[in-house]
């Protein structure tokens, strides 16, 4: 009886499957730092959901990997690939090879998220950790899709897309001023 009730609750949470077949969006989530399990047990499911929402505009089957890491993991990567010797919240590594097999999903690349930096930023910006995590996941996936924010015009386009995706997920605009009246234009890095 308990198993039937659990199954019913799970079915109630899942949206009905669309009648048209949507392309596969495989998201591998790797817990590279066990501290994630204590900090946010739902992190793997949350980042998978945010990543799939960000991938809705991609065509054909795609796949990406997301590593739930730490400052200790991300700092050497940031130093090597961005020449910044400090931890950051998210890094994206777009795949560089050409997709040739139409039967296989196109590998978009990898995203690495740093627990300590994300937690500190969420606290400093007075926003829920899970909202900030979802935002940075979307941000990282958009980089894999070719979005960038080096130029102001590109940043505006990327931010607009982030807000649209987060709204689809039922999350607030991460760039909107906080209720305390202070602005919150902190950017994902």
**pTM listed for this prediction:** 0.83
Q: Give the Cα-Cα-Cα angle 180, 182, 187 (nearest 5 degrees).
A: 125
**Residue 16, phi-psi category: left (phi > 0), alpha (psi -120 to 50), beta (remainder):** beta
Kindly tell me if the per-residue pLDDT of 178 is higher than 80.
Answer: no
> Which residue, chain included where needed, has tokens 């897309």?
161
**Is the Cβ–Cβ distance between 115 and 166 less than 8 Å?**
no
The kind and range of the H/E element at 92 are strand 90-94
pLDDT at 184: 52
Positive or negative torsion for Cα 130, 72, 141, 13: negative
* pLDDT tens string 82-113: 999 999 999 999 998 776 787 788 899 999 99
Kindly tell me if the per-residue pLDDT of 26 is higher than 50.
Answer: yes
Average of per-residue pLDDT across 138-143: 98
């Amino acid at each position: 009886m308990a198993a039937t009730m659990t199954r019913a609750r799970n079915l109630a949470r899942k949206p009905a499957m669309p009648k048209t077949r949507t392309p596969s969006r495989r998201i591998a989530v790797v817990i590279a730092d066990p501290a994630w399990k204590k900090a946010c047990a739902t992190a793997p499911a949350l980042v998978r959901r945010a990543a799939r929402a960000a991938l809705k505009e991609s065509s054909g089957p795609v796949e990406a990997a997301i590593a739930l890491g730490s400052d200790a993991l991300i700092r050497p990567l940031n130093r090597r690939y961005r020449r910044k010797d400090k931890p950051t919240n998210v890094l994206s590594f777009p795949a560089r090879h050409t997709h040739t097999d139409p039967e296989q999903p196109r590998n978009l690349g990898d995203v690495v998220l740093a627990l300590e930096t994300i937690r500190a930023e969420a606290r400093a910006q007075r926003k829920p950790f899970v909202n900030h995590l979802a935002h940075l996941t979307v941000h990282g996936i958009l980089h894999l899709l070719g979005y960038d924010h080096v130029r102001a015009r590109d940043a505006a386009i990327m931010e607009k897309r982030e807000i649209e995706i987060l709204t689809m997920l039922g999350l607030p605009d991460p760039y909107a001023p906080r209720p305390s009246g202070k602005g919150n234009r902190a950017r994902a890095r």
